[in-house]
């Protein structure tokens, strides 16, 4: 298995532009998580899905952030409009089952820079 796939690996954009990050979870995994890593706040959970349904989006910082999971093999995290403070590494992770004690497998991350 290729593991969790994220694209793009790097994104540089200008303030105000729309940014879309993509994630393909491991086949057969039914829970998907979006995290953001910054120096100040470490690794924060933004939102997670179970069976394609958003379960908890309390970590989404603002309405500028939205996430979708139209099917079991694809999810997007969109920022519109982007701001410099959104610059971070965004990780997607997936796991089998619903229990959080199942190992989460992380993708390589997307490094976002908003100028």
Partner 1 sequence: DQQVKQNSPSLSVQEGRISILNCDYTNSMFDYFLWYKKYPAEGPTFLISISSIKDKNEDGRFTVFLNKSAKHLSLHIVPSQPGDSAVYFCAASYSGNTPLVFGKGTRLSVIA
Nearest-approach distance from CB 19 to partner 1, in angstroms: 19
- Sequence-distant (6+) residues with CB within 8 A of 31 are 48, 49, 50, 51, 94, 95, 96, 97, 98, 102
Our CB check for partner 1 shows the closer of 54 and 81 to be 54
Our CB check for partner 1 shows the closer of 14 and 44 to be 44
Nearest-approach distance from CB 86 to partner 1, in angstroms: 19
Nearest-approach distance from CB 100 to partner 1, in angstroms: 4
Nearest-approach distance from CB 93 to partner 1, in angstroms: 7
Label residues 44-66 b or e (16+ Cβ within 10 Å = b).
ebbbbbbebebeeeeebeeeebe
| Residues 17, 87 contacting (CB under 8 angstroms) | no
Interface with partner 1 by CB under 8 A: which residues? 4, 33, 35, 41-45, 48, 56, 59, 91, 93, 98-101, 103-109
Give φ, ψ of 17 to 5 degrees. -80, 155
């Amino acid at each position: 298995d290729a593991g969790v796939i994220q694209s793009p690996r790097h994104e540089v954009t200008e303030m105000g532009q729309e940014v879309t990050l993509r994630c393909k979870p491991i086949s057969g995994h039914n829970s998907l998580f979006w995290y953001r890593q910054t120096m100040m706040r470490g690794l924060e959970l933004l939102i997670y899905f179970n069976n394609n349904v958003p379960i908890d989006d309390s970590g989404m910082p603002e309405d500028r952030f939205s996430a979708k999971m139209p099917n079991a093999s694809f999810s997007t995290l969109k920022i519109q409009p982007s701001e410099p403070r959104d610059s971070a590494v965004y990780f997607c992770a997936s796991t089998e089952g619903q229990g959080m004690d199942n190992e989460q497998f992380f993708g390589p991350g997307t490094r976002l820079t908003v100028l």
